[in-house]
Amino acid sequence: MNVGRAIRLCRSQKSMTQKDLAKSARISVSYLSLIEQNKRDPGISKIRDIALALGIPVSILFFLAAEDSELSGLGSELIGRLASTALTFVHESSKADKTLI
């Protein structure tokens, strides 16, 4: 599982800086950077805080963090559809965030 990669992907899809996300998730920018580089493994409560700050469910973050070997039983077509749906959700939630501003 590569949670850091998933967080970075979602953050970039939402056009958020590390500073923006760190502030919203109540963590330091340096800690977020280490998480995104997979040099730190955050606890579930921090992952929840980050997902909340991103405006996405933890389950989508975990799906996007899954390695190919962890999804091997699903079949490539289903994995592709799920990934597309998850990324669409992330992208659409960023549009909704902007309309609330």
Helices (H), the chain: 3-13, 18-25, 29-36, 44-54, 58-65, 76-99
| Mean pLDDT computed over 4-31 | 95
Is the model's pTM score more than 0.75? yes
Cβ contacts of 46 within 8 Å, gap of 6 or more: 25, 27, 35
The hierarchical CATH code for the domain 3-99 is 1.10.260.40
pLDDT in tens, 43-85: 999 999 999 999 999 999 998 898 877 777 877 777 777 777 7
